[in-house]
């Protein structure tokens, strides 16, 4: 009887040890910690100021092969297109400088009220007023090689004008790899903007722009450009026959 009991105890111990050994390699259940920061285990770690550290597992970024052409296009050099043309790179806006915003300023001149005087060096257009004052607008002017000076009159006015690039401009840009349309209807994408005032029989105009960030810069092919809101304001104050002096 005693031998039977002893044998049973030995066998039970063997099986229990085997079970414990096997249990050691079993997956453990998740440990759930209480969110209560006043719990005793938190106090043992250092009190209520203790916060769990959470590590975010980085997610591997996978690129599609079809994304690479887009990335390459975005990294092309800025000189690929001239400023002022559709799709051109945008330089820093000149309107970080408030002097290019429309304002009334003191302006002594012998010109009659209603005359337009354009100071290309300082990038300002003045609409002469009475009493030694003028309404001043910030403008973009001709880039190097396209500057000019002289006196003209406004011979025509147009709202949302169409754009017909001169043949010289089309050839010049084609040599750079930029192909201009023969004609573009008026609209927000049109480089002439919302309004245009044509100067004499020349190809020069005072007009709006679809690139307002170029105001204050020498970027055009000789035309004088204003922000659309400014050219609309000037357009409503100017008549056909207005004298325009470019200095």
Chain-centroid distance of CA 119 in Å reads 28
66 is catalytic: no
SS3 73: helix
223 is catalytic: yes
Give the helix/strand (H/E) hosting 152. strand 150-159
Give the helix/strand (H/E) hosting 171. helix 167-175
Q: How far apart are the first and last CA of the chain?
A: 127
**How many residues in the chain?**
247
Beta bridge partners of 215: none
Question: Within 10 A of 162 (CB to CB), how many other CB atoms are there?
Answer: 13
Catalytic residue among 211, 215, 219, 223: 223
Catalytic residue among 135, 136, 195, 207: 207
* Residues with catalytic function: 207, 223
């Amino acid at each position: 009887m005693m031998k039977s009991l002893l044998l049973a105890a030995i066998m039970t111990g063997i099986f229990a040890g085997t079970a414990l050994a096997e249990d050691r390699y079993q997956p453990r259940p998740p440990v759930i910690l209480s969110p209560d920061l006043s719990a005793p285990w938190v106090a043992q770690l250092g009190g209520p100021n203790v916060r769990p550290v959470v590590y975010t597992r980085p997610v591997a970024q996978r690129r599609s092969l079809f994304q690479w052409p887009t990335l390459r296009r975005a990294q092309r050099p800025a000189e690929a297109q001239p400023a002022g043309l559709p799709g051109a790179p945008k330089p820093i806006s000149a309107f970080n400088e408030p002097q290019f915003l429309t304002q009334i300023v003191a302006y002594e001149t012998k010109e009659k009220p209603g005359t337009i005087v354009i100071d290309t060096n300082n990038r300002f257009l003045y609409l002469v007023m009475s009493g030694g004052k003028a309404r001043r607008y910030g403008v973009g002017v001709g880039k190097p090689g396209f500057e000019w000076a002289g006196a003209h009159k406004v011979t025509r006015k147009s709202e949302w004008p169409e754009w017909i690039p001169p043949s010289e401009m089309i050839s010049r840009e084609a040599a750079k790899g930029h192909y201009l349309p023969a004609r573009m209807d008026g609209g927000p994408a049109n480089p002439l903007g919302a309004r245009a005032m044509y100067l004499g029989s020349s190809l020069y105009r005072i007009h709006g722009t679809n690139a307002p960030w170029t105001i204050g810069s020498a970027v055009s092919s000789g035309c004088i450009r204003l922000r659309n809101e400014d050219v609309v304001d000037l357009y409503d104050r100017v008549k056909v026959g207005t004298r325009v002096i470019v200095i």
